[in-house]
Amino acid sequence: MKRTATTAAANDTSHYAVSAFTNELIDDVARDHYSLRAWRTLLSRSCSRSLDDIRRSPERMRSVSHWIVIVGSLGALIILLASHYQSTDRALTALAFWLPWFTAAVFFLVTHIGMVDDDLGLPRQKLLLANGLSFSRLALAPLVVWPCLQIPVGPAAGPVFAVFLIALSFSDLLDGWIARWQGLCTRMGRMLDILADLALVTFLAAGLCMAGLIPWPLFALLIARYPLLLICVFILYFVRGPVPLRPTMIGRVTTFSTNVVLLVIALEFLLSTSWLTPLMIERSVRLLYLLIGANVLYLLGRVADWTELNDGLQDRH
């Protein structure tokens, strides 16, 4: 019993020292109202912790290296397959465009791996499958722009990119399901998932806009949505302090509708089919305008409510 109690106490200590690390970083940033100094401190401590974890665990280093090699090879393979049907110059241009992004994604992975822990707060020995899938989607997202610039898309290159795009979209559902089913949700996983979703939607919308498949005001609204939401969140924290913000139904519907509409338009373009009539596309675009606008207005309304409440509390004192 004494040994069991000692082990439990040690586990509790490890849990407090390691699992609370990321919560402490996030709380420090919130307490400092998201100042630049707080973000620098978070990045510095996170990088230091992550690099130490990698150095102490050869197995973790191998796991991270394997994912980097797999994703890098997959990206190069996609470019090589498509370049077989397109010009080599365009393939080299795509490679030059993708490599800096891939390098940045690898940097993020290496410097945040310390945020992946187990139920006891101890660093996991391997990069989780769900985290690896999110990293893959983040690192490969820029490649969805390339086929949109190849007009017309070749009869062989189109299906290659269609399968690639479907796989990226499916990975968004798969990584979340794996994380919830196995109880492996982590801070890093949530950050990777959000960044990967944002990158995929942004690059896909940019490609469709440059190909003339969606109007540029819709692209601008899609790109502005996330910065606007972040600004609203910052205002809430500055005015009210930490406020629990949970995903809303309007936000979930907006995200789902955006992904489905962009995916269908892209697949129709890549496969040279006519699933959607011009009227259906027009109505889908109008729906996205409505949903995104309502999403932003809802959060702006919450900012106004919290600001008014805060002013009222100050007047009472």
Residue spans of beta strands (DSSP E) within 122-178:
none
Token couple for 57: 């665990």
Q: What average pLDDT does range 63-81 have in this prediction?
A: 86
Please list the residues that pair with 117 across neighbouring strands: 123
| Per-residue model confidence (pLDDT) at position 245 | 54
Q: What average pLDDT does range 47-56 have in this prediction?
A: 74
Half-sphere exposure of 247 (CA within 13 A, CB side): 8
Angle at CA 213, nearest 5°, toward 212 and 217?
75
For 20-29, 90-99, 294-303, which range has the lowest pLDDT when averaged over its residues? 20-29
Among 79-88, 141-150, 239-248, 305-314, the range with the most confident prediction by mean pLDDT is 141-150
**What DSSP designation does 299 have?**
H
Place of tokens 């338009």: 265
| Per-residue model confidence (pLDDT) at position 7 | 39
Torsion angle, alpha carbons of 293, 296, 302, 306, to 10: -130
Instruction: Identify whether 159 is preceded by a cis peptide bond (ω within 30 of 0).
Output: no
Task: Give residue limits of the domains in the chain.
Answer: 1-56, 57-185, 213-308
CB burial of residue 93 (10 Å; 0-12, 13-18, 19+): middle
Higher-pLDDT residue of 1, 298: 298
Residue 189 contacts by C-beta under 8 Å, 6 or more apart in sequence? 116, 128, 130, 131, 134, 175, 179
Condensed to tens digits (0 to 9), the pLDDT of residues 158-204 reads 787 888 888 888 888 888 788 777 666 666 677 788 788 888 888 98
Condensed to tens digits (0 to 9), the pLDDT of residues 186-196 reads 666 777 887 88
Angle at CA 75, nearest 5°, toward 71 and 79?
165
| pLDDT of 264 above 50 | yes
User: d(Cα 306, Cα 317) in Å, to the nearest integer?
Assistant: 17
3-class secondary structure, 244: coil
Residue 140 contacts by C-beta under 8 Å, 6 or more apart in sequence? 71, 74, 75, 78, 164, 168
Greatest CA separation for the chain? 74
Residue 285 contacts by C-beta under 8 Å, 6 or more apart in sequence? 214, 215, 218, 261
Give the predicted TM-score (pTM) of the model.
0.72
Q: What average pLDDT does range 245-272 have in this prediction?
A: 78
Residue 16 contacts by C-beta under 8 Å, 6 or more apart in sequence? 121
